[in-house]
């Protein structure tokens, strides 16, 4: 696996692979890789001739009060993991290369980014869509892989690609969970002792929803109130939101629509904000 630090060099490598008619699979990440990321790389390896992965902790998607500086980083470990999964190129740009002085062009998806995570993190998605558009321009993939854990991100990026005719297939991959059900996330590293135990409450609340829906419940307010009860059983947990939305446009639902419903929640455990979801 080759590590490329420079955007122009990565761009020419992508051009060459396009010339050679290779199918390019791309997995954008912010590093500190876990099984969730590796499942994306594995799928990319199966589907494509060449696999590009990027690691870039994107300052644009963090608000000033968020964890950009302390976001976990470990290039050596990530490099080893990616080699083992058979990634071909790791793109590892600097902030200066991605956002040189005078940078002033942004990509914004409007309505879909105003709800859910967008309410609590109003500048987040503009950072995500801008960096992903740049990464797509640099790596020129045919297919790009994202986890369903960041459900809204996946929906927003699909919209961006469609609206801007990017011609890239966006593939959403299942959430990978720890043994107790906690969704894998680089931020789980922040959870200490009892916080880690109580972080399972998001999954427990979603499991409750799964049971209720399987039993025929379709009333959203009844489901949300049961989810609240589950989380209230965990004293370290503080709910940011619990929401039930239509997948196609993220509008709020009053009744479950089978095949088009996203149940998602954000919960603070101590200082760590966790998100999770299930698709029904």
Give the span between the Cα atoms of 260 and 160, in whole angstroms: 20
Residues 6+ apart with CB under 8 A from 82: 1, 33, 41, 53, 90
Longest Cα–Cα distance of the chain, Å, equals: 58
Residue 128 in the binding site for ligand PAF (CB under 6 A): yes
Is residue 40 classed as helix, strand or coil in its secondary structure?
A: helix
Residue 87 in the binding site for ligand PAF (CB under 6 A): no
Residue 172 in the binding site for ligand PAF (CB under 6 A): no
Q: Which stretch binds ligand PAF (CB under 6 A): 22-30, 75-83, 202-210, 254-262?
A: 22-30
**Which residue of 41, 81, 131, 205 would you call a contact of ligand PAF, by CB under 6 A?**
131
Residue 41 in the binding site for ligand PAF (CB under 6 A): no
Is residue 276 classed as helix, strand or coil in its secondary structure?
A: strand
Q: Within a 10 A sphere around the Cβ of 194, how many other Cβ atoms?
A: 13
Q: 144 or 220: whose CB is closer to ligand PAF?
A: 144
Residue 78 in the binding site for ligand PAF (CB under 6 A): no
Residue 39 in the binding site for ligand PAF (CB under 6 A): no
Residue 243 in the binding site for ligand PAF (CB under 6 A): no
Q: 39 or 61: whose CB is closer to ligand PAF?
A: 61
Give the span between the Cα atoms of 210 and 207, in whole angstroms: 5
Active-site residue, 17 included? no
Q: Could you tell me if 124 and 11 are in contact, meaning their C-beta atoms sit under 8 angstroms apart?
A: no
- Cα torsion angle, 250, 39, 180, 55, sign: negative
Is residue 172 classed as helix, strand or coil in its secondary structure?
A: strand
Residue 30 in the binding site for ligand PAF (CB under 6 A): yes
Instruction: Give the nearest distance from C-beta 245 to ligand PAF in angstroms.
Output: 19
Residue 112 in the binding site for ligand PAF (CB under 6 A): no
For ligand PAF, the binding residues (CB under 6 A) are 28-30, 58, 61, 128, 131-132, 150, 153
- Report the catalytic residues: 37
């Amino acid at each position: 696996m080759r590590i490329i630090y420079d955007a122009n060099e990565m761009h020419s490598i992508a051009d060459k692979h396009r010339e050679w008619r290779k199918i390019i699979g791309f997995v954008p990440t912010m590093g500190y890789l876990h099984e969730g990321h590796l499942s994306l790389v594995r799928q990319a390896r199966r589907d494509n001739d060449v696999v590009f992965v990027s690691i870039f902790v994107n300052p644009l998607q963090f608000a000033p009060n968020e964890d950009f500086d302390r976001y976990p980083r470990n290039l050596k470990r990530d490099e080893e993991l990616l080699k083992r999964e058979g990634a071909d190129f790791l793109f590892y740009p600097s902030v200066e290369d991605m956002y040189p002085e005078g940078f002033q062009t942004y990509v914004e998806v409007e309505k879909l980014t105003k709800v859910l995570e967008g309410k609590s993190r109003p500048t987040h998605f503009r950072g995500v869509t801008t960096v992903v558009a740049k990464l797509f321009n640099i790596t020129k993939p045919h297919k790009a892989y994202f986890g369903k854990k960041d459900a809204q991100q996946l929906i927003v990026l699909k919209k961006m690609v469609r609206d801007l005719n990017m011609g890239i297939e966006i593939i959403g991959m299942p959430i990978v969970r720890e043994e107790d059900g906690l969704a894998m996330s680089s931020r789980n590293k922040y959870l200490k002792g009892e916080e880690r135990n109580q972080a399972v409450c998001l999954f427990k609340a979603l499991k409750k929803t799964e049971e209720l829906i399987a039993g025929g419940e379709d009333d959203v307010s009844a489901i949300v109130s049961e989810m609240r009860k589950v989380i209230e059983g965990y004293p370290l947990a503080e709910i940011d939101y619990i929401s039930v939305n239509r997948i196609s446009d993220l509008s709020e639902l009053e009744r479950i629509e089978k095949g088009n419903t996203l149940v998602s929640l954000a919960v603070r455990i101590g200082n760590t904000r966790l998100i999770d979801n299930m698709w029904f």
